[in-house]
Amino acid sequence: MSSSKPPSLEDLIKAARGLIPADLLIEHVNYVNLFTGEIYEASIGVFRDRIAYVLAGENRELKASKRIDGRGLYAIPGLIDSHLHIESSMIIPSRFAEAVLPRGVTTVAIDPHEIANVLGKKGVRYMLDASEGLPLKIYILAPTCVPSLPGEETAGAEITAEDVEEMLGWNRVIGLAEVMDFAGVVNLDPRILEIVKVGRRRNVVIDGHAFLSGLDLNAYIAAGMEADHENLSFREALEKLRLGMLIKLRAPYVLDVEEFVKGLKSLPKPFGFLLVTDDVLPDNLKRDGHLDNVVRRFIEAGLDSIDAIRAATIFPALHLRLYDRGVISPGKLADLVLLKSLERFDVKYVFADGQLVAEDGKLVYPIPQLTFPEDAKKTVKTKKLTEEDFRIKAPAGKSKVKVRVIEFLTAKSGSEMAEEFAQSLTTRFSIEELDVKEGYIDPGELAIVVVIERHGRTGNVAKGLVKGSGLKSGAVASTIAHDSHNLIVLGKNAKDMLTAAEHVIESQGGVAVARDGKIMASVELPVAGLMAEESLDLVAEKFEKVRKAFRELGLRDHPYAPPLFFLALPVIPAAKITDKGLFDVLAQKRVPLFLEETS
């Protein structure tokens, strides 16, 4: 196959007229027309990285260097994901490209806010450098909320309005990523408003993230938020859609696809819904796939396949203002997926920029591995830890203490997926009276949680207690701890906690599970403490073992992501712990561990 460099306009016109041969001709394929909804036999000519022509019916006279028989296959545009965090898949961009191209994903707009919390705008720059020239086209929406709650956690960096302005000047940075500080927006917080104003001034896409309703939601949208993926129930999504916000639907781990399809079908003429992935953990990515899986689940649940495909191709392209893709039309990028079945969304061939990159789920095109510079792999900076760091000293002379503990909710009022998901993240404070042994709190049925600032800035160590984590023995340590990604350690005893923490520090990031002083399972993530440079298969295998170890220890888990990863995130209700201490999300303030009336 020829080079995938863009042709001159003159050559493109000549190729489209058939005056020079196409590089590739896909014949007799079932062309899924996203403008009319028809499916009919056609010939698709590709020249360099572009679609040259689409001709209905059989066309024997067309000349091409290479021909593919498309009989029995369905041609659709490459999938476009307009909201995701590569870091959630725990692999670097070039590895991510290897993983998702065979799934039919050819363009993504990522929010690299995890790495930005560790390395600031330099981290964003590294993500750009590490995705340059890949057949998976990676665009960046500049992170807007780093850290998630300024002043209440120590992230590795802050992103200011000036940073956002600078990043928007970089190639492939095309908008503002999810403005998670919705409370700041509606309450006129100057920091976030200055960032929003940068996006408004430059007239770029601004993505949203809000749990709001009524006039507050109106205010958030009025400020310029164009889309939102935080739709746990169709009712929430519908309120946003009615107000002109694009709704981005994540599946299958978070929302009840059947409920959404039923909801969409109940509307006379719905317009403005997109399919996205947001976060796909490596084991899920390996097992279920990526945006292809979201499309598949919606089609399975009864959404018309044309609507589902539009929601993952042309509509995200329009939303992202990427006018050169999202449809199979003359002059557009030759990003193509040939499916064996439209209903099962079975991917046979994937073309990116006119190149065959995958066949039957296997990569057939070499992806350059773009590794990260050394400083990106030295980000876990803590003092030398000891078991003492994982014990909680009681006030002198007490034999019992009353403490504020973080409690995971366990009562479920129904079987709804969204509720289950919300509960997996949601916590509350409760009061417990605990015994003191040798001057330290005995956690009893509870677990101890310690958050250690790991960016080398403050050395903060915050300690707390967790109820309902399920943990029966051992400990877990992780540098994935949204959003500041400090080192979080949850455990039943100081020894295992130290063992797990030391493994993670030694690896410069990752997740480790320890019991009886030994590492049971671990995944090493040295890039910013979040990603590995290894293949998806390797990372997924390790992470599967980590999840298996969680189960062995009894630790609460959720298909979307382990709740532990969100225990330090002070923007999700209601009881959290950052490196600065316990945080009451609803009251928006830090609270002490010990209650005053402790006797």
> Pairing between strand 355-359 and 362-363?
antiparallel
- How far apart CA 424 and CA 469 sit, in angstroms, is 10
Q: How far apart are alpha carbons 575 and 146 in whole angstroms?
A: 20
Q: Cβ 225 to a second copy, closest distance in Å?
A: 9
- Residue with smaller CB distance to a second copy, 127 or 186: 186
* Shortest spacing between CB 45 and a second copy, in angstroms: 8
Decide whether 59 or 535 has the Cβ nearer to a second copy: 59
Q: At its nearest, how many Å lie between a second copy and the CB of residue 263?
A: 10
| Cβ proximity of 250 and 273 under 8 Å | no
CB closer to a second copy, 193 vs 595: 193
d(CA 134, CA 335): 13
Cis amide bond preceding 147, omega within 30: yes
Tell me the closest approach of the beta carbon of residue 542 to a second copy, in angstroms.
43
Q: Which is nearer to a second copy, 123 or 175 (CB)?
A: 175
Least Å distance between CB 257 and a second copy? 19
Which is closer to a second copy, CB of 50 or CB of 404?
50
Q: Please answer whether residues 84 and 276 qualify as being in contact, where contact means their C-beta atoms are separated by less than 8 angstroms.
A: yes
Report the candidate in 202, 293, 286 with the shortest Cα–Cα distance to residue 253. Answer: 293
CA distances, 324 to each of 160, 331, 464 (Å)? 31, 8, 52
Give the containing element (helix H, strand E) for 110: strand 105-110
Integer Cα distance of 412 and 358 in angstroms? 43
Closest distance of CB 23 from a second copy, Å: 14
Closer by beta carbon to a second copy, 38 or else 506? 38
Q: Which two tokens stand for residue 374?
A: 């050394």
Token readout for 566 is: 């969100």
DSSP string, 514-555: EETTEEEEEEE--BTTTBBSS-HHHHHHHHHHHHHHHHHHT-
What's the rounded Cα separation, in Å, for the pair 60 and 71?
Answer: 15
To a second copy, the closest distance from the beta carbon of 74 in angstroms equals: 15
Alpha-carbon span 227 to 214, nearest angstrom: 16
How many other CB atoms are found less than 10 A from the CB of residue 5?
10
**Closest CB to a second copy among residues 106, 486:** 106
CB of 245 to a second copy, least distance (A): 8
**Where does this chain bind a second copy (CB under 8 A)?**
9-10, 12-18, 33-38, 50-56, 185-186, 188, 193, 196-197, 200, 203, 214-216, 218-219, 221-224, 226, 238, 241-245, 267-272, 304, 306-307, 310, 318, 321, 323, 327-332
| 374 HSE (CA, 13 A, CB side) | 0
**Which residue's CB is nearer to a second copy, number 259 or number 584?**
259
Query: Is residue 143 a contact partner of residue 177, using CB atoms and an 8 Å limit?
Result: yes
Beta carbon nearer to a second copy, 317 or 405: 317
Q: Is the CB of 153 or the CB of 335 nearer to a second copy?
A: 335
User: Which has the closest alpha carbon to 536: 214, 97, 124?
Assistant: 97
Least Å from the CB of residue 2 to a second copy: 17
Tell the smallest beta-carbon distance from residue 272 to a second copy (Å): 5
Q: Which among 325, 326, 348, 329 has a CA at the least distance from the CA of 337?
A: 348
Q: Which is nearer to a second copy, 98 or 307 (CB)?
A: 307
Exposed, middle or buried: residue 172 (CB in 10 Å: 0-12, 13-18, 19+)?
middle
Q: How far is the CB of 192 from a second copy (least distance, A)?
A: 11
| Closest C-alpha to 508, from 386, 382, 379 | 379
